[in-house]
Amino acid sequence: MTILVLTVGGSHQPLVTAIQTLKPDRVVFLCSDETPTAKGSYVQVIGEGKIIKSDPKLDKPDLPNIPTQVGLSPDQFDVVKIEHFDNLEACYLESIRILIKLHHEQPHARLIADYTGGTKSMTAGLALAAVDSEWCELNLIAGTRTDLEKVRDRSQFSRPIAVWDLRGRRKLEEVQARLSRFDYAGAASMLERIGQMPISESFSDKVRAGLAICRGLDAWDRFNHDEARTLLQPYRPYLKESSIMLDDLCRVEPRDPYLRVEDLFLNAERRAIQGRYDDAAARIYRALELIAQVRLRAKHGIDTSNVDLQKIPAQRRASFERHRSDTGKIQIPLFPSWALLQELHDDHLGAWFAENKSKVQDFLGVRNSSILAHGLEPIDSARWQNKGNVGLILCRQALASIPRSERSEVTVHQLPQELKVFEHA
């Protein structure tokens, strides 16, 4: 079954051509409603007698209404009057309503929208509605022009309009909305849908590249750095600075010993932007813990998962016995690790912790009451802004206290919120 939706304007001939060419089983005429000073275009469809001029120069009409001219019976067509026919939004909303209604009534029908006739707002509204309706084809009646006013009569022909690239590009707005929130999996899902459309080869190339990049960034967001590098390797020109950071994260021992910490709290930032504050707090906790672990190992030769008591100040060794596990190893968590740095008189992080101990404790209180830690209380936006966000600040301050000479020159960047591959799409 074929259903044709037409906008009706001043000229009848393009509509007649469309109906005769496409041979629809049902026609829906979108017409302008009447105004206080003029009849609407619906008269061309349901007017009685001779109501249409075959030539505008004629003194009076000599043709019957459009359905009569093309042999449509009353049960084969419907008339929809658009009251605000010069309002683009009103025309779009009425058009999309009709297209959705027809699709729901006849989901397997071929649905064609022809936007040749009607006011500018009516034609634009129907065209936009058709582009937004993937189940709808778009059609236009074209022909020979001898002036700027209209196509020459009897030169018209029906021409399908290619709109899949346009549909795909419109959906890139949804992709960008997901990217702005670091939802790489959601962006990849949208790009998969675009890639399944019959789009042009050149646009398809960009979609394939964007899809691979989103999948790679999603892997990175899940800390699967090796998979991320494999997926992103062909697209390094679009991710130059991030690629260098990723290369270092894939090393057994990154050149910058604190790079994994940077990666952790950048991940925490992304979770906070998504409103996933409990996830963000859990990552910040691990980042703060990792800073102390890296520092103790790199500068003092102490492994927090198996502490050598001989490297602990003699007066403090007894207190570390309570951290001995069932395996016999002494394993210390976040706060004792930082406290140990202070007791070791670490010039940088130990001194920083001495000044910020109470702030660290406050953050730990927020994290420990989280449902992802030891409590049952989810972290809401207000609590995050008041106390949870302090954890990110603490991480940055702690890292800033470490001399640059003890770190490599690997530049750290947040993951992208847009895809450069689509800059000129």
What's the CA gap between 15 and 57, in Å, rounded?
Answer: 20
**Do both 14 and 157 map to the same domain?**
yes
Pull the structure tokens for residue 302. Answer: 């102490």
DSSP letters for 153-190: TT--EEEE---HHHHHHHHHHHHHHHHTTT-HHHHHHH
**Do both 56 and 152 map to the same domain?**
yes
**Do both 14 and 134 map to the same domain?**
yes
The yes-or-no verdict on residue 51 having pLDDT over 90 is no
Pull the structure tokens for residue 387. Answer: 């106390």
Last residue of a domain, one of 116, 141, 161: 161
**Do both 317 and 379 map to the same domain?**
yes
Q: Is 211 exposed, middle or buried (0-12, 13-18, 19+ CB in 10 A)?
A: buried
What's 123's domain CATH number? 3.40.50.10770
Residue 165, CB-side half-sphere exposure with 13 Å CA sphere: 11
Identify whether 385 is part of a domain: yes
Last residue of a domain, one of 117, 133, 161: 161
Identify whether 151 is part of a domain: yes
Alpha carbon of 48 to those of 51, 64, 151: distances in Å? 7, 7, 27
pLDDT at 425: 58
Whether residue 267 contacts residue 284, with contact meaning beta carbons closer than 8 Å, is answered with: no
Whether residue 239 contacts residue 221, with contact meaning beta carbons closer than 8 Å, is answered with: no
**Do both 360 and 326 map to the same domain?**
yes
At 399-418, the pLDDT tens digits run 999 988 888 877 888 999 99
Average the pLDDT over 105-115 and give the result: 94
Whether residue 143 contacts residue 18, with contact meaning beta carbons closer than 8 Å, is answered with: no
**Do both 117 and 241 map to the same domain?**
no
pLDDT at 149: 43
Distance of CA 401 to the CA centre of its chain: 37
Distance of CA 99 to the CA centre of its chain: 26
**Do both 135 and 9 map to the same domain?**
yes
Identify whether 287 is part of a domain: yes
Identify whether 327 is part of a domain: yes
Q: Is the dihedral of CA 217, 223, 225, 231 positive or negative?
A: negative
**Do both 132 and 225 map to the same domain?**
no
Q: How many residues make up the chain in this entry?
A: 425
**Do both 179 and 63 map to the same domain?**
no
What's the CA gap between 151 and 68, in Å, rounded?
Answer: 23
**Do both 268 and 360 map to the same domain?**
yes
What's the CA gap between 92 and 167, in Å, rounded?
Answer: 16
Average the pLDDT over 65-88 and give the result: 94
Residue range of the domain that includes 210: 168-249+417-422
Last residue of a domain, one of 95, 127, 161: 161
Identify whether 411 is part of a domain: no
pLDDT at 141: 82
**Per-residue buried b or exposed e for 271-297, using 16+ beta carbons within 10 Å of the residue's own CB:** bbeeebbbbbbbbbbbbbbbbbbbbbe
Model-wide pTM > 0.85: no
All residues at 6 or more sequence positions from 202 whose CB lies less than 8 Å from its CB, including other chains: none
Identify whether 412 is part of a domain: no
**Do both 10 and 132 map to the same domain?**
yes
How many CB atoms are closer than 10 A to CB 60?
7
Domain count, the chain: 3
Pull the structure tokens for residue 17. Answer: 């051509």
Scanning 274-314, the segments in alpha helix (DSSP H) are 277-300
Identify whether 68 is part of a domain: yes
pLDDT at 424: 66
pLDDT at 36: 83
Q: What is the DSSP letter of 117?
A: S
What's the CA gap between 385 and 376, in Å, rounded?
Answer: 19
pLDDT at 157: 56
The yes-or-no verdict on residue 153 having pLDDT over 60 is no
Residue 160, CB-side half-sphere exposure with 13 Å CA sphere: 8
What's the CA gap between 369 and 382, in Å, rounded?
Answer: 15
In the block, which residue shows the tokens 């963000």? Answer: 280
**Residue-averaged pLDDT of the chain:** 90
**Do both 291 and 402 map to the same domain?**
yes
Alpha carbon of 180 to those of 164, 245, 274, 388: distances in Å? 25, 21, 10, 22
Identify whether 254 is part of a domain: no
The yes-or-no verdict on residue 151 having pLDDT over 50 is no
